[in-house]
A and B are shown apart, each in its own frame.
Chain A
Amino acid sequence: MDKTDVIIIGAGPAGASAAIKLAQGGKKVVLIDRGMPIGSKNLSGGVLWGNDLHEIIPNWQLEAPVERTIVNKKIGFLSVEDATVLDLHFDSWDKENYSGVSVLRAKFDEWLANEAQKAGAAVLSGIMIDSLIIKDGKVVGVKQNDEELFADTVIIAEGSNARLLLDHGLMKDPSKHRFERKEMLIGVKEVLTLTRDVMEERFLLDENTGLAGEFILGNVPDGVKAGGFFYTNKDTLSIGVVIHLDSLNSEVRSYEVIEYFKQHPLIAKYIKNAVSVEYGAKTVPEMGYDNFPPLYGDGYMVIGDAAGFVFSNGLVIQGMNYAIKSGILAADTIIEGGDLKNYEKKLNNSYVLKDFKKFKKVKKLTKNKRLFELYPTGINNALKDILTERGEPKQSLIKKALKAMKQSGIGLFSLIKDGLSARHI
């Protein structure tokens, strides 16, 4: 019988980080991924805040294929014609050890898996695990076709579409066999080429610095709830949208939503003459703290997206940092030789579960249709009203803003209510 200490299913940031930490701790670990090369199945739409990577790879930014250090953040509200954008230039971020960087996952994940191999893990690419092997209620190994591999512990890092958890009844509700529309988002993304010179001039960037923008889309019809994002890589731009699946219930298609974003007058100027070189999509879990699957069980632990560790508040979506941290904590649990329930304790004591508990109520805000349908237009109209000189007597600012909000369909009462729920952000 082929047996190892630990099998890890999935070599994204979660699985690869766990593999590195385990190998460093002297464990025999097998890291398995369905992509070949590793990274070729992986997609993301965000900035990597890799604070925790320093623990397993000191000064990783010097070695890793990172694109740009993010020093400019744009936060915007788009209505059909107009945009209000908060433009944050934090050049001090470039001097910090723990700054966020843009990454392209096909390159980054391949590098990280290679680091796992260098640390001593056995890394297998191009292998799709069909099922877990469960004996007397305990997960004891994995199966592909007729081949079986056994381990003391299996770490499930299969990503957002947690098929193994669903197939084996390892969700909170064991009878659940698919995810609900209300607990998932779809991210649709393109990578566009833009020469370095043009990009750096257009976005006021230096050779290694970059920007990340996040926008609430108030310009998509039929009440589709979506956010848009774009960020700069070395000589490409990543641009995409994240859509609440339960709001896609009309004639609007997921692949059209990214066009509403790209064709907005402001965004169109940002991406002028940029040529698309890759198109892709992935789901993003938004199940929330109360609906996470059991994070460990007899013989196994769940880390990263598979566990639902993605934070979103309508504007920002973060998953990679939680993935890395949960991978490290799962590895620590095994290295310390304790009970697997210590993994959940460690998560509870770390920012991972603290964040999710603290922001439990944020989902109410991200599901609020006013956030997408009314506020972007309301904010743009209010500011436009205040700033446009029409040769009329001036009203007080507050009065004017409230009037414009009201004209955009937002009542004072809902403003107060949403203000109260926004405090959870």
Chain B
Amino acid sequence: MEIQRIKIDVKNKAGTTTWNTDSHDRAHITIKPDICEVCPHQLCIAGCPTECFKIYDDVMKFQFEDCTECGTCAIMCDQDSVAWYYPRGTYGIQYNQG
């Protein structure tokens, strides 16, 4: 049997989780869109569990607010575009269950 492909809106799902978001100038992850533009795979998009990487008008956009701080994008990116660090203490994702 053929596998039916599943598509979901993960942003809805992430809405159940709590974040204490830092200001934009303090984003803990940054990317270099020029590098992404010529990236042969853009696997950050496949890896990120909260869809923080997206192509808009042929340009890679990154949005740090929903980041789970898992570090997957920094592993998927072998082009040195993703500059990854943890957020400042107390900022970022806040698991109530874990």
Name the B residues within 8 Å of A256 (CB-CB). 6-8
Partner of B46, one of A35, A144, A253, A282: A253
Determine whether the beta carbon of B86 is less than 8 Å from that of A128: yes
Answer whether A253 and B87 are a contact pair too, CB < 8 Å, given A109-B98, A277-B16, A282-B68: no
Determine whether the beta carbon of A104 is less than 8 Å from that of B98: yes
Name the B residues within 8 Å of A54 (CB-CB). none
- Bound: A256/B8 CA distance, A: 7
- Bound: A127/B90 CA distance, A: 7
Answer whether A282 and B70 are a contact pair too, CB < 8 Å, given A36-B89, A40-B94, A255-B8: yes
Partner of A250, one of B46, B86, B95: B46
- Bound: A277/B13 CA distance, A: 9
A129's nearest neighbour on chain B, judged by CB, is B89
- Bound: A41/B41 CA distance, A: 30
* Nearest-Cβ distance from residue B16 to partner chain A, whole angstroms: 5
Instruction: Count chain A CB atoms within 10 A of each CB in B41, B94, B97 and give the residue with the most.
Output: B97
A107's nearest neighbour on chain B, judged by CB, is B98
Q: Which of A157-179 contact B (CB under 8 A)?
A: 160-161, 163, 178-179
B74's nearest neighbour on chain A, judged by CB, is A178
Determine whether the beta carbon of A236 is less than 8 Å from that of B90: no
B17-56 near A? 1/0 per residue, CB < 8 Å: 1000000000000000000000001010111111100000
B75 within 8 A of A: yes
Determine whether the beta carbon of B6 is less than 8 Å from that of A248: no
Size category, B interface: 35 or more
Partner of A163, one of B10, B86, B88: B86
Determine whether the beta carbon of B75 is less than 8 Å from that of A245: yes
Name the A residues within 8 Å of B16 (CB-CB). 276-279
* Nearest-Cβ distance from residue A182 to partner chain B, whole angstroms: 10
Determine whether the beta carbon of B75 is less than 8 Å from that of A249: no
Name the B residues within 8 Å of A35 (CB-CB). 89-90, 94
A222's nearest neighbour on chain B, judged by CB, is B3
Instruction: Count chain A CB atoms within 10 A of each CB in B7, B87, B90 and give the residue with the most.
Output: B90
* Nearest-Cβ distance from residue A236 to partner chain B, whole angstroms: 7
4 further interface pairs, Cβ-Cβ under 8 Å (given A35-B94, A181-B76): A41-B94, A106-B95, A248-B76, A255-B51
A378-407 near B? 1/0 per residue, CB < 8 Å: 000000000000000000000000000000
Could you list which residues of chain B lie within 8 angstroms of chain A, going by C-beta atoms? 1-3, 5-8, 10, 13-14, 16-17, 41, 43, 45-51, 68-72, 74-78, 84-90, 92-98
Determine whether the beta carbon of A248 is less than 8 Å from that of B13: no
Determine whether the beta carbon of A253 is less than 8 Å from that of B51: yes
- Interface size on A (CB < 8 Å)? 60
* Nearest-Cβ distance from residue A274 to partner chain B, whole angstroms: 13
Determine whether the beta carbon of B87 is less than 8 Å from that of A221: no
* Nearest-Cβ distance from residue A149 to partner chain B, whole angstroms: 14
- Bound: A160/B74 CA distance, A: 13
* Nearest-Cβ distance from residue A276 to partner chain B, whole angstroms: 5
The 4 closest A-B pairs by CB, nearest first: A106-B98, A105-B98, A281-B49, A161-B71
Determine whether the beta carbon of B87 is less than 8 Å from that of A104: no
B95's nearest neighbour on chain A, judged by CB, is A106
Partner of B75, one of A144, A163, A251, A283: A283
Name the A residues within 8 Å of B76 (CB-CB). 181, 245, 248
Determine whether the beta carbon of A106 is less than 8 Å from that of B49: no
Name the B residues within 8 Å of A263 (CB-CB). 6
A259 within 8 A of B: yes
Determine whether the beta carbon of A283 is less than 8 Å from that of B70: yes
Instruction: Count chain B CB atoms within 10 A of each CB in A43, A191, A280 and give the residue with the most.
Output: A280
Determine whether the beta carbon of B17 is less than 8 Å from that of A255: no
Answer whether A186 and B3 are a contact pair too, CB < 8 Å, given A236-B97, A277-B97, A280-B95: no
* Nearest-Cβ distance from residue A249 to partner chain B, whole angstroms: 6
